[in-house]
């Protein structure tokens, strides 16, 4: 079995590659990544030497490169993690999000159509549903919740989802979609909430919190997410959407305070900053469908997962300090620039 994993040098994509090598050691995994600011080739250093692993530096919008890769590898499954994914960046520059997240997805599916893959899986987000009110803890996102986006990022992901489903209906392409809640765990890029707070706290820097930090997110440990995708691509129904949630709702401010406590840092480091434009208040996923159909449930409680995550960042300071310094961008040229 050959699987192409796009965006595999990013946070969730790299964890998925590690998981798949453990779960399916005989699979051939081809990682395609543009290595933008959020892609870090050094993350994949432990698998680079495997005979059944290949890394290809390319943009999913580059149709010539994509079709060439499909011609060479003849993949059975494609899992698309590749996306611009930071809400604040999408507010500043929406164009690149539309280009990568919509047109890039279309290019991948066109290659899938030509080369007859068994499954194209789109990794999406619960943000396509918009948000839920804080005073209605009984409400959750289901697969039937209408799309109601708040940012250019979530709009681009929702557009891609609709395109994926259209390719299934129009062309008969074998597709599936997963919409996940906020992931956390090892190799999370330091601009995101949890790793940013860990890094800043360790360096005794201010911990910037939007508004009053009352926004609620459903946190999913990244390995649990990877297990869900593995189940979907092998056993999930074609043309279906599966919500993948952690059953771990937490206020942002409570997470920041928890990180301070775990690291022995004072809460006086917390600094409240002007709120994000169109900031969603609450995300909460109902994962009943994937549980009933595929037997998946999140296995990692937040109090355990956050301790594992903090421990990982303490033990791998070089990884994230290199990213913060910008040195990681040189890794590709040093270690891989002359390889194809």
Angle at 324 between CA 194 and CA 153, to 5 degrees: 55
Tokens of 310: 């903090």
Strand order in the sheet with 119-125: 53-57, 28-33, 2-6, 77-80, 119-125, 175-180, 240-244
Q: Among 19, 153, 184, 328, which one carries the catalytic annotation?
A: 153
CA distance 95 to 121: 24
Q: Choose the catalytic residue: 33, 84, 126, 223.
A: 126
Instruction: Please give the structure tokens belonging to residue 212.
Output: 């009053």
Show Cβ contacts of residue 14 under 8 Å, excluding neighbours closer than 6 positions.
Answer: 8, 40, 43, 44, 187
127 catalytic per annotation: yes
3-state helix, strand, coil in the chain (%, to 5): 45, 20, 35
Q: CA-CA distance, 233 to 239, in Å (whole number)?
A: 11
Q: How far is CA 203 from CA 198, 206, 273, 314, 318, in A?
A: 9, 9, 19, 12, 13
Contact by Cβ (8 Å): 57, 35: yes
In the residue annotation, 299 being an active-site residue is answered as no
The active-site residue, picked from 84, 127, 224, 280, is 127
- Let me know: does 260 contact 270? Beta carbons within 8 Å: yes
C-alpha dihedral, 182 to 187 to 193 to 198, nearest 10°: 140
Q: Is 126 a catalytic residue?
A: yes
List active site positions: 126-127, 153
């Amino acid at each position: 079995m050959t699987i192409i994993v796009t965006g595999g040098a990013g946070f969730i994509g790299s964890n998925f590659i590690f998981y798949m090598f453990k779960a399916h050691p005989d699979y051939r995994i081809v990682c395609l990544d543009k290595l933008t600011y959020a892609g870090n080739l050094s993350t994949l250093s432990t698998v680079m030497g495997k005979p059944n692993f290949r890394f290809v530096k390319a943009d999913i919008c580059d149709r010539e490169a994509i079709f060439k890769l499909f011609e060479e590898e003849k993949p059975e499954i494609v899992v698309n993690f590749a996306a611009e994914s930071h809400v604040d960046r999408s507010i500043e520059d929406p164009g690149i999000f539309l280009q990568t997240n919509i047109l890039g997805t279309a290019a991948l599916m066109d290659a899938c159509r030509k080369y007859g893959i068994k499954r194209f899986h789109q990794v999406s987000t619960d943000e396509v549903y918009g948000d839920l009110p804080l005073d209605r803890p009984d409400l959750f996102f289901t697969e039937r919740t209408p799309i109601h986006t708040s940012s250019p990022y979530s709009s681009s992901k929702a557009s891609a989802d609709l395109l994926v489903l259209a390719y299934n209906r129009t062309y008969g392409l074998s597709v599936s979609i997963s919409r996940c809640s906020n992931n956390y765990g090892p190799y999370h890029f330091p601009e995101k909430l949890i790793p940013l707070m860990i890094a800043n706290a360790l360096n005794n820097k201010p911990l910037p919190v939007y508004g009053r930090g009352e926004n609620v997110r459903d946190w999913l440990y990244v390995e649990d997410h990877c297990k869900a995708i593995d189940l979907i691509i092998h056993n999930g129904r074609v043309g279906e959407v599966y919500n993948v949630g952690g059953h771990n709702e937490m206020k942002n401010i409570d997470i920041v305070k928890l990180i301070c406590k775990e690291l022995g840092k004072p809460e006086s480091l917390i600094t409240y900053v002007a709120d994000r434009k169109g900031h969603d208040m609450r995300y909460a996923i109902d994962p009943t469908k994937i549980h009933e159909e595929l037997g998946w449930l999140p296995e990692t409680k937040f109090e355990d997962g956050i301790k594992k995550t903090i421990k990982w960042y303490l033990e791998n300071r070089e990884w994230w300090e290199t990213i913060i310094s910008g040195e990681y961008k040189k890794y590709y040229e040093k270690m891989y620039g002359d390889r194809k």
